[in-house]
Amino acid sequence: MSSSPWHILGIEPTQDQREIKKAYARLLKTMRPEDDPQGFQRLRDAFEHAQFLADHLPPPAAEPEAQHAEERGEYCQHCGKVHEPLENVPEDEKPVVETLRPWIYELSDLNREDQVEQAIRRLRQMLADPYLRDNEKHQQIFEDGMLYLACDDRQVKDPFVQVLIEQYHWTEADNWLAEREPQTADYLRVRMLEADALDKVEQLFLLIEEEGEDAAIAAFDLALESDTLFNVDVKALFEGELMVGLSEFEPLPPTFLHHIAARFGWQQDHRHLQAYQPLAWRTLEQALNRQNTPPIY
Amino acid sequence: MIIGIDLGTTNSLCAIWQQGQAVMIPNALGHHLTPSVVGLSDQDEILVGLAARERLLTHPQLTAAVFKRYMGSDRLMSLGTQKLRAEELSALVLKSLKADAERFLGQPVTEAVITVPAYFSDAQRKATKIAGQLAGLKVERLLNEPTAAALAYGLHQNEPESRFLVFDLGGGTFDISILELFEGVMEVRASAGDNFLGGEDFVEALIDGFVEAVGKPAGLSDKQADAYIYQALRKQAEQAKRALSGAEQASMTLEFQGQLLSWTVSDSDFAKLAEPLLKRLREPIERALRDARIRAHELNQIVLAGGATRKPLIKKLVAKMFGRLPAMHLNPDEVVAMGAAVQAGLKMRDAALDEVVMTDVCPYTLGVEISEQLAPGRYEAGFFLPIIERNSVVPVSREQTVSTIQDQQTAVLVRVYQGESRLTADNIFLGQLHVPVPPKPAGAVSVDIRFTYDVNGLLEAEMTVQDTGKKHQLLIEENPGVLTPEQVQERLRELQKLKIHPRELLVNAALMARADRMYQQTRGEDRLYIGQETARFQAALDTQDETIIKPIREELQRILDEIEGETWL
């Protein structure tokens, strides 16, 4: 009879991965892999099973579309973080923050409503506003707000972030950000690379439609060698999105599909594709297999 | 006392766990690094380490290096008239480290934790164990090198929870491991690597660059044709490689058929020559991240290990791939040995490590060969059925069931493979066993195949015939390229016949070898000067009086350092 993983771990069923890890770690010290291989394997199987269950329990009900929290210091559903309470803002900055906050929210909301062009236009107007233009302190506080949008506000779209980066030069080596928050600068750099990678995927599909598969294959090979895809995360995104795009592309471009499957080694290793989007991979796998099946005599 | 040993392609090191920390053990020359080079002296004595490395150039026929690359194969290397396997040469290095440890500790040492590349195959691991045995060391544990580096780093972590990636580029092998740290647990999430990619390949790339640029026009097209020329080029390439870590260019020279060939290489030339190698570094990294299901930005740190990661070229590559700078707080040459010492401490149940548990993975997929039905009644053999998926946490035991495919079939041939290809032809064969089954219609007999893989990376297969309940066991022990126990005994006897150069005289031997090598490499005044001083040193050695030898030795050392800079390790 096999016990449930929760029983072996000695905890109640939970979705809290941290709690699962804690229970495993505690028991592991009495069932070390080299001293008690059998006990360890049982524990390990229970651990992995519990982790899987925790990930696959039904997620909590989707939350309704959230608005900005009104109160300072209140958790904001819209931004997913607590708005800085004004008490923590130095006395002389309070009025500035109070003035600029609605500006920042406006840009966030325009992004959320997919009006990126309008958001960029408004940004330019704000930057030209004497309130910012003529006061260094105001400019600084506004830049902090923009950095918040670029890094912490998930509604904000890539083209908008691109404009912000061009405006403030955050990703350049001699910028204040590189020194004070190198990780933030790294994040922004990768975010822009990712935007570029997504753009490349889109270009490839356009090429297939307009110039045919051979042109797309040549462009793909070039993209693979590009600096953008040098970053491993960016390349993984490129691969995943290309797969999803292909699975929805009609009619399926067979030569192109085979070429990229070979270049990425999809036939040998596709667990990551399955994890990325199982349905898309299944579609492509069937297509690849159909074309690979040896003739039957 | 268990010692920790990093048995490297280029250098080997030894460390112990003492008073709650890893302590490096110096060799007879006072260095932490012992070059993994074995040679025969003019008196037919075995020389290990720097002395042997210096003689690579002057006595290429009597010296062997880079033999770790041939672990787990039947290849023989010559040392004068002797022919030795990689295990035996490695055993001589281990013996020398063992002697250093015994001197340092003042007690005999018989047990060791030895590190191996994570991606080492079954045969290569066994060969390493045998090397230990031949050196008189019981190998308590084979520890994966990047895991060792992670152990050393993990103990220095202040954050209770973190994930990091170890990028370990040694002299001859490349390993990637991704680790997660939580609640005192160090969990290896995934490992990947390339057993034939390391710092030595960058040296070869420079040699090729030299041959292409100035060798060929002068009639030198085959670098391997002459052992002396090859070693002279290697030496030059190694020096150039080191110089390029700091300077923007370096030069290599070679005397060839009376002419002096000279080539200046810039760091961008080097980058171009190294490009194919840099490309090969990518694949294992991507694979390890995929297997660990971790995105690079979720890693708290990228950690560098292995001397080859000192190259600016490598640091730049890592920074570009991960979008941030890697960490190198610990000496990359020593970090693996330090981790081996930590593991030795764990083995000895040291109180300081009471709360630490480490789990590792099996980095490759293990399975059996099967036939697949391509059409009704039409089977084709040669397909791979994975049983233990790569990057499973070890120890691990997994089972798959296969069935007969022919009527009245009387046996099932279980062929065990390691690898990632769908076709067994592209994987590594480990061993096989005929399992008799009762004759019945096709598909009516099933055999359960259970694989058990232990913490040392050794595999056992157990087959159970479902009808009869009969069990058959296959311990993958005698795979191709691995010595049988009888052969080991015989090799042990052979090795005992070799005379080892006395440890206390190694300092003199190393210096003399270096002086001889430099005499060959220099010209004009320097050469005359070295010749004179060497003769003086030889005369002093002949007195066998340390009080006379010591000042002259120090003088010679100073002169040599002045001419070529300090000896690098």
> Residue A276: is its pLDDT beyond 80?
yes
Q: Is the dihedral of CA B392, B396, B399, B400 positive or negative?
A: positive
Task: Judge: B323–A271 Cβ closer than 8 Å, yes or no.
Answer: no
Length of chain B: 569
Q: What gap in Å lies between CA B246 and CA B312, rounded to an integer?
A: 8
Domain spans in chain A, listed from the N-terminal domain onward: 5-56, 75-168, 191-292
Nearest residue in chain A measured CA to CA from B184:
A25
Task: Judge: B324–A33 Cβ closer than 8 Å, yes or no.
Answer: no
Encode burial over B487-524: b for 16+ CB neighbours within 10 A, e otherwise. ebeebbeebeebeebeeebbbbbbbbbbbbbbbbbbee
Chain A partners of B426 at a C-beta cutoff of 8 Å? none
CA dihedral B18→B20→B26→B30, nearest 10 degrees, is -120
In order of A147, A191, B161, B264, B469, the CA distances from B448 in angstroms are 59, 49, 40, 63, 10
Q: Other CB atoms closer than 10 Å to residue B346's CB: what's the count? A: 23
Domain spans in chain B, listed from the N-terminal domain onward: 1-156+331-359, 199-273, 364-475
Residues 6+ apart with CB under 8 A from B268: none
Chain A partners of B360 at a C-beta cutoff of 8 Å? 33
Task: Judge: A230–B374 Cβ closer than 8 Å, yes or no.
Answer: no
* Active-site residue set of B: 6, 68, 145, 168
Q: What gap in Å lies between CA A239 and CA A249, rounded to an integer?
A: 15
Helical (H) or strand (E) element with B402: strand B396-403
Nearest residue in chain A measured CA to CA from B285:
A232
Closest to B281 (Cα-Cα) out of B124, B420, B147, B170: B170
Q: The complex's ipTM?
A: 0.81
CA A210 from chain centre, in angstroms, equals 30
pLDDT per position as a tens digit, B75-111: 999 998 889 999 999 999 999 999 999 999 999 999 9
> Residue A74: is its pLDDT beyond 60?
no
Q: What is the pLDDT of residue A72?
A: 47
pLDDT per position as a tens digit, A109-140: 899 888 999 999 999 999 999 998 888 889 98
Q: Does B453 touch chain A (CB under 8 A)?
A: no
Query: How far does the CA of residue A62 sit from the closest CA of chain B (Å)?
Result: 25
Provide the token pair at A169: 């030069």
> Residue B70: is its pLDDT beyond 80?
yes
> Residue B473: is its pLDDT beyond 50?
yes
Q: Does B33 touch chain A (CB under 8 A)?
A: no
Tell me: domain B199-273, CATH 3.90.640.10, correct? yes
Q: Does A183 touch chain B (CB under 8 A)?
A: yes
pLDDT per position as a tens digit, A174-198: 889 888 888 888 889 989 999 999 9
Site from B147, B185, B189, B379 to mutate, A interface, most A CB atoms within 10 angstroms: B185
- Tell me if B523 sits within 8 A of B553, measured CB to CB: no
pLDDT per position as a tens digit, B190-242: 999 998 899 999 999 999 999 999 999 998 888 888 888 898 899 899 999 98
Helical (H) or strand (E) element with A26: helix A17-28
Chain B partners of A33 at a C-beta cutoff of 8 Å? 357, 359-360, 393-395, 455
**Strand ranges for B404-539 from DSSP E:** 411-418, 428-436, 446-453, 459-465, 471-475, 499-500
pLDDT per position as a tens digit, A36-72: 999 999 999 999 999 989 987 766 555 555 555 555 4
Task: Judge: B394–A33 Cβ closer than 8 Å, yes or no.
Answer: yes
Choice between A29 and A293, residue whose per-residue pLDDT is larger: A29
Closest to A192 (Cα-Cα) out of A167, A162, A219: A162
Provide the token pair at A40: 């360890």
Length of chain A: 297
Residue B375 pLDDT class (50, 70, 90 cuts): confident
Q: What gap in Å lies between CA A55 and CA A39, rounded to an integer?
A: 24
Q: Which of A182, A193, A272 sits opposite B290 (nearest CB)?
A: A272
Chain A partners of B296 at a C-beta cutoff of 8 Å? 231-233
Provide the token pair at A261: 């499957």
Average pLDDT estimate for A89-108: 85
Average pLDDT estimate for B388-397: 94
Lowest-pLDDT range, A175-179, B174-178, B325-329, B452-456?
A: B325-329
Closest to B285 (Cα-Cα) out of B418, B200, B165, B148: B165
Task: Judge: A236–B295 Cβ closer than 8 Å, yes or no.
Answer: yes
Closest to B26 (Cα-Cα) out of B520, B548, B507, B542: B507
Chain B partners of A232 at a C-beta cutoff of 8 Å? 282, 285-286, 289, 296, 321-322
Q: Give the whole-number percent of chain B exceeding pLDDT 70.
A: 98
Residue B504 pLDDT class (50, 70, 90 cuts): confident
- Give, in degrees to the nearest 5, the angle at Cα B531 between B526 and B537: 125
Provide the token pair at B388: 């233990």
Lowest-pLDDT range, A168-182, B202-216, B302-316, B476-490?
A: B476-490
Residues 6+ apart with CB under 8 A from A28: A40, A43, B185, B357, B359
Q: What gap in Å lies between CA A162 and CA A141, rounded to an integer?
A: 20
Task: Judge: A41–B397 Cβ closer than 8 Å, yes or no.
Answer: yes
Residue B565 pLDDT class (50, 70, 90 cuts): confident
pLDDT, averaged across chain B? 91
Tell me: domain B364-475, CATH 2.60.34.10, correct? yes
Q: Does A29 touch chain B (CB under 8 A)?
A: yes
- Tell me if B285 sits within 8 A of B291, measured CB to CB: no
Chain A partners of B357 at a C-beta cutoff of 8 Å? 25, 28-29, 32-33
Encode burial over B278-308: b for 16+ CB neighbours within 10 A, e otherwise. eeebeebbbbbbbbbebebbebebbbbbbbb
Residue A297 pLDDT class (50, 70, 90 cuts): very low
Task: Judge: B357–A28 Cβ closer than 8 Å, yes or no.
Answer: yes
Average pLDDT estimate for B353-382: 87
* Residue whose tokens read 């120890």: B395
pLDDT per position as a tens digit, A203-214: 999 999 999 999
Residue A295 pLDDT class (50, 70, 90 cuts): very low
> Residue B379: is its pLDDT beyond 80?
yes
> Residue A85: is its pLDDT beyond 70?
no
Task: Judge: B286–A233 Cβ closer than 8 Å, yes or no.
Answer: no
Task: Judge: A269–B287 Cβ closer than 8 Å, yes or no.
Answer: yes
Q: What is the pLDDT of residue A201?
A: 96
Q: What HEC string does B225-250 produce?
A: CCHHHHHHHHHHHHHHHHHCCCCCEE
Query: How far does the CA of residue A23 sit from the closest CA of chain B (Å)?
Result: 10
- Tell me if B373 sits within 8 A of B185, measured CB to CB: no
Provide the token pair at B526: 């320097």
Residues 6+ apart with CB under 8 A from A173: none
> Residue B45: is its pLDDT beyond 80?
yes
Q: Does B458 touch chain A (CB under 8 A)?
A: no
Q: What gap in Å lies between CA B50 and CA B558, rounded to an integer?
A: 17
Q: Report residue B77: phi and psi, to 5°.
A: -115, 145
Residue B325 pLDDT class (50, 70, 90 cuts): confident
Task: Judge: B322–A232 Cβ closer than 8 Å, yes or no.
Answer: yes
CB pairs under 8 A between A and B: 88
pLDDT per position as a tens digit, B449-462: 999 998 877 888 99
Q: What is the pLDDT of residue A294?
A: 47
Render A29-68 in DSSP notation, one character per residue. TTS-TTT-HHHHHHHHHHHHHHHHHHHHSPPPPPPPPPPP
Choice between A87 and B509, residue whose per-residue pLDDT is larger: B509
Pairing of strands B357-362, B185-194: parallel
Choice between B259 and B475, residue whose per-residue pLDDT is larger: B259
Task: Please give the CATH topology (third level) of the domain spanning B1-156+331-359.
Answer: Nucleotidyltransferase; domain 5 (3.30.420)
pLDDT per position as a tens digit, B416-453: 999 888 889 989 888 888 999 999 998 899 999 999 99
- Tell me if B494 sits within 8 A of B91, measured CB to CB: no
Query: How far does the CA of residue B420 sit from the closest CA of chain A (Å)?
Result: 7
